[in-house]
A and B are shown apart, each in its own frame.
Chain A
Amino acid sequence: MAGTARNPVIWLDTPPFPKAAREALNDVQLRHNLRNATHTIRDRRAKAVGEMPDWEQLRLAGEAIKDDVLAHLDTYLQRLEEQVTARGGVVHWARDAAEANAIVLDLVRETGTDEVVKVKSMATVEIGLNEALEAGGITAIETDLAELIVQLGHDRPSHILVPAIHRNRAEIREIFRREMPDAPPDLTDDPPDLAEAARRHLRRKFLSAKVAISGANFAVAETGSIAVVESEGNGRMCLTLPETLITVMGIEKLVPTWTDLEVFLQLLPRSSTAERMNPYTSVWTGVHPGDGPQAFHLVLIDNGRTNSLADQVGRQALRCIRCSACLNVCPVYERTGGKSYGSVYPGPIGAILTPQLVGDMHDPQAAALPYASSLCGACFEVCPVRINIPEVLTHLRAEAVEAKGKHTPEAVAMAAAAWIFRDPKRFERAQKLGSLARLFARNGKISHLPWPGSKWTDSRDVPAPPEESFRTWWRNNRG
């Protein structure tokens, strides 16, 4: 039933961010992998973007095109449906994850197959499609190398672009040896060896699969064309070899016209993989007799997106083109990794997108995500479509506060602080009272405070407040 089931965009078995992060911080291997990977991608992105004299203009254009799409989403979606249908495709509309999964399962069953190949797709992970297919007796095989590593490891993705960023090559060899039936017995942990094992394993799957399931990077409303960009060529195989192609796409992934792709095909690769151009860009329009899939289904999913669209501040998150630049520069993501965010959308974009897709700040996991940031602003600086992530974070924090009500210890403390700040005389009296804390200080510092102050003093000292505040000094010397 639509609207009643919990949105699977948040993984049920993950604790809220602070606790999940606490555990991740202790994982030495994870910290090492993330530090290396994020710093490398970060530096390469800066170089690739630095080559472009018109980068700011491109960002502004990307922002403007996406804002236009969001402002007229109904019109563009109908145009897309008309165009896809006119060119031999079938469009399906899904309100939520359950509806989308049911549509895809039915479509696969109609073909009579029990195995599908998949191109890496955030949307299908968001709705839990693989699990739904498995429950329906269909095996879904991920063909992106990193997604395959995640799938074979019975694991979850931790990065938008590099889903297995948390794994090193020794771990990958172990996963392949254990889970890949046709892995060579003498498999080494050399990256070319690992890639070759995966390539041979996947090639057999590509050649036998009757159905492929993909996501989409862009859909062109004007022509009904769908675009997927990728680096490995597995996407090209999935999109051309099987008889049936099912594409699952969020309703916000539109661009109005073919020429708009020009902007995004420059913004995306430089922001994500730091490449001038991605190795494979596949674009298809409907079906063509004797060439490529003979049946094409486009499943358009809402799954919380219209919640976000209704929010004037929050909707900018729907501009996201899933480049992951914000993850790579985020000082929080760099240390906690993606799984701490409890969703396929980790990092700064996840912290603003996931709670909006859930659409309920009473959900403790959703409500914790907007606080998973020091508001340093590095994400906004690199975002190719200029999503002001800090702005949305504080906006969503206000929603989280409203949902929690006025009687939490924090809300009471904040109200008390505001009451003091509203009156300079009260403020001065509070300063004088607070300065008595200096009597508990040793060597000018306080190293132990009771809870919740202990959350600070567990790792940092507090300076002893001086006897004379600045305003007292001013009054005595200047007033």
Chain B
Amino acid sequence: MVPKSLRVALFATCLTDTFYPGTGRAVVRLLERLGCSVEFPFDQTCCGQMHFNTGYRDHARPLAESYASIFESYDAIITPSGSCAGMVREIHPQLCGGSPATEKTYELSEFLVDVLGVTDVGAWFPHRVTYHPTCHSLRMLGVGDKPLALLRAVRELDLVELPEAESCCGFGGTFAVKNAETSTAMLTDKMTNVLRTEADIVTAGDNSCLMHIGGGLSRMRAGVRPLHLAEILASTEEEPWQALPAIR
């Protein structure tokens, strides 16, 4: 059981906050089901990843400083994004020195498996699913097969292995527009591999990559839905995930 005294904050990320509120709600629901009490500090905005990765370090620095002061008092900060967690843990210390907030920031699957020590989160999700390991969760954070362990424990979920899973989807932040054609060529191969699995759902631990893969699948009318890992793990028989009419 989670000690009641553990103060857990959600860092939703600017993208999920703005475009994917369902993912944020799913993280809250999931963590509360596992006994955490979750807070959402309103002062949070963005970790500065887009600015840093595009070369605008001076703009990223104040965002890193804000992050440190907003989250320093929490015992754990959980974010549904491998790349934002990587930005906070690996890059923030370079921008403004280490802080308690950067050290206690976890990507969702890391927090579930490493801190809470659970792989079976009591989820139920009767769909055919394939999992894309996002580059930063894989290579920057080293989450390994934690997300897969979580997915394997979901009841009635039909998990299909994604061919060439570890290849980048081509998003890369501003890379997707600065080198749009190359990015699209990478996306095409990723979508081809997703379609080869005949899965209904492609999941990942990062809505940015899912926005890219999902945006391509939607354009192709592929009939495959991108869905954040948190929303699968939040789904139960009593309160199942419901497909909304909108694309993600």
Q: What residues of chain A have their CB less than 8 Å away from a CB belonging to chain B?
A: 17-18, 21-22, 25, 331-332, 335-336, 370-378, 380-381, 394, 397-402, 410-411, 414-415, 417-418, 420-424, 427, 431, 434-435, 443-445, 447, 452, 455-456, 458-466, 468-475, 478-479
Contacts of B19 in A (CB 8 A): 463, 465-466
Instruction: Pick the residue among A376, A399, A459, A474 that contacts B187 (CB under 8 A).
Output: A459
For B24, give the chain A residue with the smallest CB separation: A470
Within 8 A of A (CB), among B174-213: 174-187, 211-212
B181 close to A25 (CB less than 8 A): yes
9 closest cross-chain pairs (CB), A and B: A374-B172, A444-B246, A460-B215, A397-B55, A418-B59, A401-B55, A470-B24, A376-B168, A377-B139
B40 close to A464 (CB less than 8 A): no
- Pick the interface stretch among B44-52, B104-112, B153-161: B44-52
A473 close to B46 (CB less than 8 A): no
A461 close to B247 (CB less than 8 A): yes
What is the CA–CA distance of A370 and B43 in the complex, to the nearest angstrom? 33
Contacts of B59 in A (CB 8 A): 414-415, 417-418
Given A418-B60, A422-B63, A424-B42; 12 other pairs, CB 8 A cutoff: A18-B179, A370-B55, A398-B56, A421-B48, A422-B62, A422-B66, A443-B247, A459-B219, A463-B215, A464-B246, A465-B19, A474-B24
A17 close to B40 (CB less than 8 A): no
What is the CA–CA distance of A376 and B53 in the complex, to the nearest angstrom? 12
User: B198 CB to closest chain A CB, in angstroms?
Assistant: 22
For A22, give the chain B residue with the smallest CB separation: B181
Contacts of B244 in A (CB 8 A): 444
For A447, give the chain B residue with the smallest CB separation: B219
B172 close to A375 (CB less than 8 A): yes
Instruction: Pick the residue among B17, B50, B177, B218 that contacts A455 (CB under 8 A).
Output: B177
A374 close to B40 (CB less than 8 A): no
User: B54 CB to closest chain A CB, in angstroms?
Assistant: 6
Given A21-B181, A444-B245, A460-B219, A398-B57 contact (CB < 8 Å): yes
B186 close to A431 (CB less than 8 A): no
What is the CA–CA distance of A400 and B55 in the complex, to the nearest angstrom? 7
Instruction: Pick the residue among B14, B23, B181, B248 that contacts A427 (CB under 8 A).
Output: B14
What is the CA–CA distance of A434 and B19 in the complex, to the nearest angstrom? 10
For A478, give the chain B residue with the smallest CB separation: B40
For B57, give the chain A residue with the smallest CB separation: A398
User: A62 CB to closest chain B CB, in angstroms?
Assistant: 20
Contacts of B147 in A (CB 8 A): none
B186 close to A373 (CB less than 8 A): no
A470 close to B12 (CB less than 8 A): yes
B215 close to A461 (CB less than 8 A): yes
Given A21-B182, A465-B19, A459-B139 contact (CB < 8 Å): no
A374 close to B180 (CB less than 8 A): no
Within 8 A of A (CB), among B23-46: 23-25, 28, 40, 42-46
A455 close to B180 (CB less than 8 A): yes
For A401, give the chain B residue with the smallest CB separation: B55
B69 contacts A by Cβ under 8 Å: no
What is the CA–CA distance of A412 and B24 in the complex, to the nearest angstrom? 30
B173 contacts A by Cβ under 8 Å: yes
B181 close to A463 (CB less than 8 A): no
> Can you list 19 pairs linking A and B with CB atoms under 8 Å apart?
A331-B186, A378-B139, A378-B168, A394-B53, A397-B54, A402-B55, A422-B62, A422-B63, A424-B42, A427-B14, A434-B18, A443-B247, A452-B177, A455-B177, A455-B178, A458-B184, A463-B19, A474-B24, A479-B42
What is the CA–CA distance of A376 and B166 in the complex, to the nearest angstrom? 10
B168 close to A463 (CB less than 8 A): no
B21 close to A470 (CB less than 8 A): yes
B186 close to A470 (CB less than 8 A): no
Contacts of A443 in B (CB 8 A): 245-247
Contacts of A469 in B (CB 8 A): 17-18, 21
A417 close to B246 (CB less than 8 A): no
Instruction: Pick the residue among A335, A417, A427, A479 that contacts B50 (CB under 8 A).
Output: A417
Contact with A along B209-248 (1 / 0, CB 8 A): 0011011101100000000000000000000000011111
B124 contacts A by Cβ under 8 Å: no
Contacts of B66 in A (CB 8 A): 422
Instruction: Pick the residue among A335, A410, A418, A458 that contacts B186 (CB under 8 A).
Output: A335
Instruction: Pick the residue among B25, B51, B177 that contacts A414 (CB under 8 A).
Output: B51
